[in-house]
């Protein structure tokens, strides 16, 4: 049995060396970061949208494909920048998620992003065009609207930012993933409506952190302590490195090898009926599904309509981009080869139970969601939208379930550029 003096020494040295151990771990992780900076987040907190691109100089690395270079205004750079806005410049504000931003297409000087390919194609026909890439990973239509408002408020004070003559929302898939997240979280419906309000901008974990801060400001010591620990963790090189190591062990969709996207499984009962899929995959009845779909799509439509109503002379186009599920061929749908949807945990959060669903079952859900969305958009005559869901010739155009590869991005940007140019030359409704 240790004496009292020995116990005091142990406590003393523990208190003394604990900060040293923490400091050593942080320093070691910092240098590991320098040697392999892929795990460092290129995303930072934003009080308006929830998150945005980290444009700090420390995160700009043109040799690392995981990072994109920003301009001085915090937008992801495109090949052309307006130098004198007094000249005849036609500004296009590109909104959307990582699909519009060009995730998976990163290249030196950002030349391979979807926005850059679109701008290059447009300027071959009209050199007055300047595309501003305001899209970012994970953005949905609510965040797009916030970005549009922020841009239009700041644009008059910047000589290198063109007036947004046209606003183009390109994507659609992020709102769909948020919809799947709602379907996958079947515990408390009221809580869910709050947590993912207004097209589900922020998830439950972020809300909990904000609640910790609010509670601590009112004197709750426990909440303050947890908020403090979360703050340390979010800024820690050590925890970042641990997350990086853990992420390497998880199965994710392959960006560059199509074979990584899908896996063959043992024979499993396939559900060809939407009601069966809802019951067995999401533990939902059809009435619950319709309710969730209704307030999800109504939110998306409301966000789109908000961009149309911006009173600054900008025209607006909503483009539902093709995705892997909408592009599945009849042969793939009828095939005996069963392939499960994998690697989407980061898209739908942490559902109450693991989502186990076949690709062609997801095809049925996506089609139902998409057709319902289009039906609601058509009711509003002021909304101009393009249905690109079937524009990809086959699934080889995609890096994963959401993102176009370089060839696919080139083809889709070419189609979109033609419709934009047509719109610029003719004061007529855009072809739907």
The verdict on residue 140 lying in a domain is yes
Confidence of residue 244 (pLDDT cuts 50, 70, 90): low
Q: What is the mean pLDDT of residues 238-266?
A: 46
Q: Which of 168 and 24 is assigned the larger pLDDT? A: 168
Flag whether pLDDT at 94 surpasses 70: yes
Confidence of residue 165 (pLDDT cuts 50, 70, 90): very high
Q: What is the mean pLDDT of residues 392-412?
A: 94
The verdict on residue 319 lying in a domain is yes
Q: What are the tens digits of pLDDT across the range 104-135?
A: 776 555 788 899 999 999 999 999 999 999 99
- What pTM value is reported for the model? 0.76
Percent of the chain with pLDDT over 70: 66
Q: What are the tens digits of pLDDT across the range 281-299?
A: 888 899 999 988 998 899 8
Confidence of residue 256 (pLDDT cuts 50, 70, 90): very low
- Backbone φ and ψ for 182, nearest 5 degrees, come out as -65, -40
Report pLDDT for 321.
97
Q: What is the mean pLDDT of residues 191-218?
A: 56
Confidence of residue 60 (pLDDT cuts 50, 70, 90): very low
Between CA 144 and CA 326 the distance in angstroms is 23
Confidence of residue 245 (pLDDT cuts 50, 70, 90): low
The verdict on residue 328 lying in a domain is yes
Report pLDDT for 337.
81
Report pLDDT for 275.
93
Confidence of residue 231 (pLDDT cuts 50, 70, 90): low
Exposure letters 18-44 (e unless 16+ CB within 10 A, then b): eeeeeeebeeebeebbeeebebbebee
Flag whether pLDDT at 95 surpasses 70: yes
Report pLDDT for 32.
57
Residue 86 structural domain:
36-186+251-425
Confidence of residue 88 (pLDDT cuts 50, 70, 90): confident
Q: What are the tens digits of pLDDT across the range 4-33?
A: 777 777 777 667 666 666 667 666 665 555
The DSSP-derived string for 150-206 is: HHHHHGGG-TTS--EEEEEEEE-HHHHHHHHHHHH--S-HHHHHHHTHHHH-S-HHH
Flag whether pLDDT at 301 surpasses 60: yes
Between CA 132 and CA 81 the distance in angstroms is 8
Q: What's the length of the chain?
A: 432
Flag whether pLDDT at 374 surpasses 60: yes
Other residues' Cβ atoms within 10 Å of the Cβ of residue 268 = 10
Q: Which of 174 and 240 is assigned the larger pLDDT? A: 174
Flag whether pLDDT at 212 surpasses 60: yes
Between CA 156 and CA 176 the distance in angstroms is 34
Confidence of residue 430 (pLDDT cuts 50, 70, 90): very low
Q: What are the tens digits of pLDDT across the range 315-357?
A: 999 999 999 999 999 888 888 788 899 888 878 866 656 788 9
Report pLDDT for 50.
72
Report pLDDT for 133.
95
Percent of the chain with pLDDT over 90: 38
Confidence of residue 193 (pLDDT cuts 50, 70, 90): low
Task: Look at the chain and report how many structural domains it folds into.
Answer: 1
- Cα-Cα end-to-end distance for the chain: 83
Which CATH number do you get for residue 52? 3.40.50.1110
The DSSP-derived string for 293-353 is: HHHHHHHHHHHHHHHHT-SSS-EEEEEE---HHHH--HHHHH-S--BB--S-HHHH---SS
Strands 43-46 and 50-53: antiparallel
**Is the sign of the CA dihedral 26, 27, 32, 35 positive or negative?**
positive
């Amino acid at each position: 049995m240790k004496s009292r003096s020995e116990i005091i020494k142990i406590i003393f040295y523990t208190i003394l060396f604990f900060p040293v151990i923490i400091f050593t771990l942080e320093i070691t992780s910092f240098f590991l970061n320098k040697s392999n900076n892929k795990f460092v987040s290129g995303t930072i907190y934003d009080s308006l949208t929830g998150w945005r691109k980290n444009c700090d100089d420390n995160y700009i690395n043109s040799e690392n494909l995981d990072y994109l270079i920003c301009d001085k205004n915090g937008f992801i750079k495109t090949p052309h920048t307006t130098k004198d806005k007094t000249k005849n410049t036609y500004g296009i504000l590109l909104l959307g998620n990582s699909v519009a931003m060009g995730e998976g297409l990163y290249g030196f000087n950002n030349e391979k992003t979807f926005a850059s390919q679109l701008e290059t194609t447009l300027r071959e026909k009209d050199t007055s065009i300047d595309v501003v890439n305001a899209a970012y990973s994970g953005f949905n239509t609510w965040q797009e609207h916030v970005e549009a408002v922020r841009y239009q408020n700041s644009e008059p004070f910047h000589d290198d930012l063109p007036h947004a003559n046209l606003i183009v929302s390109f994507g659609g898939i992020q709102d769909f993933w948020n919809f799947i997240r709602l379907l996958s979280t079947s515990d408390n419906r009221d809580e869910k409506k709050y947590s993912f309000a207004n097209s589900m901008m922020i998830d439950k974990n972020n809300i909990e952190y904000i609640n910790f801060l609010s509670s601590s400001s009112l004197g709750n010591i426990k909440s303050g302590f947890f908020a403090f620990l979360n703050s340390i963790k979010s800024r820690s090189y050590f925890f970042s490195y641990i997350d990086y190591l853990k992420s390497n062990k998880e199965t994710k969709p392959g960006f560059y090898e199509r074979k990584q996207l899908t896996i063959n499984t043992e024979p499993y009962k396939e559900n060809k009926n939407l009601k069966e899929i809802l019951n067995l995959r999401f533990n939902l009845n059809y009435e619950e599904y319709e309710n969730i779909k209704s307030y999800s799509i109504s939110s998306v439509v409301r966000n789109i309509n908000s961009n149309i109503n911006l009173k600054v002379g900008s025209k607006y186009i909503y483009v539902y981009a093709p995705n892997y599920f909408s592009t599945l061929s009849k042969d793939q749908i009828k095939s005996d080869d069963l392939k499960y949807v994998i690697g989407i945990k980061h898209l739908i959060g942490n559902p109450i139970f693991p989502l186990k669903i076949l690709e062609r079952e997801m095809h049925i859900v996506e089609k139902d969601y998409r057709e319902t969305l289009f039906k609601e958009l058509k009711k509003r005559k002021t909304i101009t939208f393009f249905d690109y869901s079937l524009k990809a010739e086959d699934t080889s155009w995609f890096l994963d379930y959401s993102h176009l590869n370089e060839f696919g991005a080139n083809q889709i940007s070419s189609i979109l550029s033609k419709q934009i140019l047509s719109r610029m030359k003719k004061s007529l409704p855009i072809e739907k």
